[in-house]
Structure 1
Amino acid sequence: MPADRRRVMMLGLRGIPNVQGGVEKHVEMLAGRLTAHGWEVEVVGRRRYLPGRAPHFWNGIRVTPLWSPRMMALEAIVHTFLGVCIAALRRPDILHIHAVGPALLVPLARLMRLNVVVTHHGYDYDRQKWGGFAKSMLRTGERMGMRLAQGRIAISREIVETMGERYRVPVALVPNGVAVSRCDQATGILGEFGLTRRRYILLAARLVPEKRQIDLIRAYAKLENCGFDLVLAGGAEFVNAYEEEVRTLASRVPGVVLTGFQTGDRLAELFANAALFVLPSSHEGMPIALLEAMAYGLPVLASDIVANRQLGLPAGDYFPLGNIDALASAIAEKIASPPDEQEALAQTARVEAAYSWSSVALKTLEVYRAVTK
């Protein structure tokens, strides 16, 4: 190994590879590109989301499982605290902390004389699952990350502008990327769930309130025997009332299919054969799943929240957040007029050109170099 090889440690996520979540996907793709640029990358994940207890290498990336409490309110912050302590011992050139909650530990990392970069992935304090105290802590994490980190990144232009105005600090724009996983052979997932190619509507997202699966089920129910199934791919990390509500409602509406969390070729096959992708969420940082659907050439519908509108889709690809009737009408219009093959291929080319993970890595490296020069 060259003596001048730079090292980065990444914290603030559940783990990689194939762990559910936008931050997890971002780090998985970014880390692989950084190793290709000669960086030594270590991702510190939470043990219960990873296949083994011992550190191991995946695609040239060191993955370190680390204990964390199995409590929603404490899991991320305790894990990040332990990770910062490990970073203080290992002395990476960059400690890269992802998301505003884990950024609460930036003061500790700076006290330990670490070079810290923080990526703001979205306003986590707007998530419906958090109570008042947790939201206050998340806002404090944002403030600590933006004010005290030596390098600051945000995944959307709106977040960059808001952070600049709120904290009077420079923030680099490094958006999420997209990489389509081509499924070389059938995995059998369509047959397993009784699905027919191009005859189902898809949402791939965690079962959490801000993803608004219930809105989508209710809108789908209004279509009444439309000839398409509704596939909800995703799971929940913790048993909660929302998950139970989704499962109960889904059981009452014919045609709704819950596949649980899917990844790899099985998820790729679901994307590749869908007729429409719908993202009805009330909160996003920058929606990777929506980008992936577009890269597969799928027609899409998204709620008209700021994060989704930042993608600049045609007006007909948006619907008013929470408006069940409008969503049902938009779905009916989309499935009645599917795009032809040339339109789908053109959309894929546009998305892959605009949202390249190679570009994400180069922009991230610019921030690293500015911090370590």
Structure 2
Amino acid sequence: MLLGRLVGLPVFATFQGGDLQLTALERRLRPVAVRAAAGLVIGPALEAERVQRRYGVPSRKVGSIPNPLDVSAWTPGAREQARAELGLSSGARVVAWHGRVEIHRKGLDVLVDAWRGLAALRPHDNLRLLLVGTGTDASALRRLVEPVRSVTWIDEYLLDRGRIRRLLSAADVYVFPSRVEGLPVAPLEAMALGLPIVAADLPGTRQILGGVEAAGGVIVPQEDPDALAAELARLLADETLRAKLGRRARERVETSFSPEAVGHRLRDFFVRNGMRVPPLYSTAPV
């Protein structure tokens, strides 16, 4: 901040969440630095509101702007090829989840309970739950899913985003049952693949979906396996609705979370708070 003052340039900062301050010096300097910044870029809207209240920062200096998702890297893959790789039939109804295996935080116990309920609701359907990822609770999750029919679990740390994209392309619906999240990336990746999502009610999921089906998904109460099972059953039974929500999901990511969309929001925020930026250049042919 001091260097910016010395050279006459506005200094912007990001705030990554949390209020843990490890040293006495940090406790003294953080409020000063936050208030001295020309602007703060914070992804989760709820966290942006908290920082504004906690540090008394004017609302114009706080921008709730998410990290962008490279939508060009998240395009739907060949569905039948993905299913063949997983040994899933073309007629199966597939629900997918991916992420770190942390049972409580990610709501995986709720998901397993909901899946049991869904199997009871539709006992004659060819249902498959696709789980992608591993983590500290992998052993506990294995005990949970062992007695449950029709679960396919890729129990690996996957860093290859291309492979994750191919695996998720096998799905009809994406499920996100988390209890605790900021502004989650996983549902955005699924939405970019054209998958409708069923998500637990969190500030971050409401921010992604705007709370309405028009954005490509459905929000259900937290820790409610019956509601989760009911919405999954509704989408799995209606191919037309799934296709409509899937198109809306992709459009939502393109218009609100792509690098172009986020870049325009950042530019507007910087200009409002004193930064001089060059004009945007047209890419249209001359």
Give your verdict on TM over 0.5.
yes
Q: 1:273-284 alignment to 2 at 5 Å? A: 273-284=170-181
**Which residue among 165, 175, 186 is the counterpart of 1:268?**
165
Does residue 252 of structure 2 align to residue 359 of structure 1?
Answer: no
- Is 1:199 the counterpart of 2:84 in the alignment? no
- Distance, in Å, in 2 between the alignment partners of 1:269 and 1:207 is 20
* TM-aligned CA deviation for residue 298 of structure 1: 1.4
Report the CA distance between 1:307 and its aligned residue. Answer: 1.5
Deviation at 1:283, TM superposition (A): 1.5
Report SS of the residue matched to 1:249: helix
2: distance between equivalents of 1:248 and 1:347?
33
Q: 1:137 to 1:200 in 2, by over 3 A?
A: farther
Larger relative contact order, structure 1 or 2 (CA cutoff 8 Å, min sep 6): 2
Alpha-carbon distance in structure 2 between the residues aligned to 1:196 and 1:143:
60
CA distance in 1, matches of 2:76, 2:235: 25
Give the C-alpha shift of residue 234 in structure 1.
Answer: 1.6
Give the TM-score, by structure 2 length: 0.71
Select which of 123, 144, 148 maps to 2:33.
148
Gaps of 5+ in 2: 5-9, 277-286
Change in 2 beyond 3 A, CA 1:284/1:319: same
Normalised TM-score (structure 1):
0.56
1:273 aligned counterpart, secondary structure:
coil
Q: Which amino acid aligns with 1:344?
A: G
Q: How far apart in 2 are the matches of 1:117 and 1:277?
A: 36
Tell me if structure 1 keeps the 8 A contact 2:94–2:129: yes
TM-aligned CA distance change 1:195 to 1:156, over 3 Å: same
Tell me the CA shift for residue 189 of structure 1: 5.3
Q: Cα distance, 1:321 vs. partner? A: 0.5
Name whichever of 301-310 and 145-154 sits farther off.
145-154
Change (3 A) 1:291 1:188: same
Map 1:17-28 to 2 at 5 A: none
> Considering only CA atoms, is the larger Rg found in Structure 1 or Structure 2?
2
Paired residues, number:
246
For 2:17 and 2:164, locate their aligned partners in 1 and report how far apart those are by CA, in whole Å: 24
Contact 2:255–2:261 (Cα < 8 Å) also in 1: no
Q: CA deviation at 1:230?
A: 0.6
Is the 8 Å Cα contact of residues 217 and 256 (structure 1) preserved in structure 2? no
> Any gaps of 5 or more consecutive residues in structure 1?
1-92, 95-114, 126-134
RMSD: 3.6
Aligned equivalents of 1:269, 1:328: Cα separation in 2: 25
Amino acid at match of 2:251: A
Match of 1:293 among 160, 181, 190: 190
1:366 deviates by: 7.2
Matched residue of 2:169: which SS?
Answer: helix
> 1:257 is paired with a residue of what secondary structure?
strand
1:312 aligns with 2:213: no
Is 1:253 the equivalent of 2:138?
A: no
The structural deviation recorded for 1:272 is 2.4
Mapped contact 2:42–2:62 kept (Cα < 8 A): yes
Corresponding residue number in structure 1 for 2:108: 213
- Pair 1:117–1:142, CA change in 2 (3 A): farther
1:118–1:252 distance in 2 versus 1, CA, 3 Å: farther
User: Aligned residues: percent identity?
Assistant: 27
* CA-to-aligned-CA distance 1:220-257 (integer Å, 9 cap, x gap): 01222442111111222xxx3x3321121122212112
